[in-house]
Chains A and B, each alone.
Chain A
Amino acid sequence: DAGITQSPRHKVTETGTPVTLRCHQTENHRYMYWYRQDPGHGLRLIHYSYGVKDTDKGEVSDGYSVSRSKTEDFLLTLESATSSQTSVYFCAISEAGRSSYEQYFGPGTRLTVT
């Protein structure tokens, strides 16, 4: 299994509070991604990173920000959590220089916003 960890694994927070989720990898992969997964929607890309300090928006980026100050860490921040951000959040990594584009996922964070 790819060396990807996410923290926390579970979190309950109140509407309006800031929340930061962390993804940590030991594979030295260049690309990192944050997804959310909701019933009926599948996995949707929030933000991704193609290098240290290089990030870009995905399909559902509103209300989220990211930072990547080191190759191994990719942080996802909900500036002011809303109930619509209750979801399961997955981090993924992908290696540069390969002809294929497979991604490998972390174990996920279950976030509940009350």
Chain B
Amino acid sequence: RKEVEQDPGPFNVPEGATVAFNCTYSNSASQSFFWYRQDCRKEPKLLMSVYSSGNEDGRFTAQLNRASQYISLLIRDSKLSDSATYLCVVNPLSGSARQLTFGSGTQLTVLP
């Protein structure tokens, strides 16, 4: 089983739609969780951290369910510029500190 699993998609949605991505992680001791965004042929960029209480940043909402080892990202009112690959990222606390484990990503295309 992969440490971090995501539905690869692709998700094709119309502008203005709401779309949700899910991610599961295998290490119950994980402490830090993130969503990164990666545009085609670019580097990953931090979108948002995910906190136990859930957090929102504009149109983006991230939630964490520790009991189910599950992370989600909700995008409301999708824009064309949201088209990208979204990476679920976990700090597994295995080995030395500060390492991150990346999911393979979920591809989103927002259509006009």
Residues of chain A touching chain B, judged by Cβ–Cβ distance below 8 Å, are 31, 33, 40-45, 48, 50, 56, 58, 90, 94, 100-108
For A105, give its contact among B43, B103, B104 (CB under 8 Å). Answer: B43
**B34 interface residue (CB < 8 Å to A):** yes
Residues on the B chain within 8 Å of A90, using CB: 43-44
Can you show 26 pairs from A to B with CB atoms below 8 A apart? A33-B99, A42-B87, A42-B104, A42-B105, A43-B44, A43-B87, A43-B102, A44-B102, A45-B99, A48-B96, A48-B99, A50-B98, A56-B95, A56-B96, A58-B99, A90-B44, A94-B98, A100-B49, A101-B97, A102-B34, A103-B100, A105-B43, A105-B45, A106-B43, A107-B42, A108-B43
Residue of A nearest to B48 (CB): A102
Q: Is the interface of B mostly helix, strand, loop or mixed?
A: loop
Flag if A101 contacts B44 (CB, 8 Å).
no
Report the Cα distance A31→B96, complex, angstroms.
12
Residue of B nearest to A99 (CB): B32
Report the Cα distance A48→B87, complex, angstroms.
20
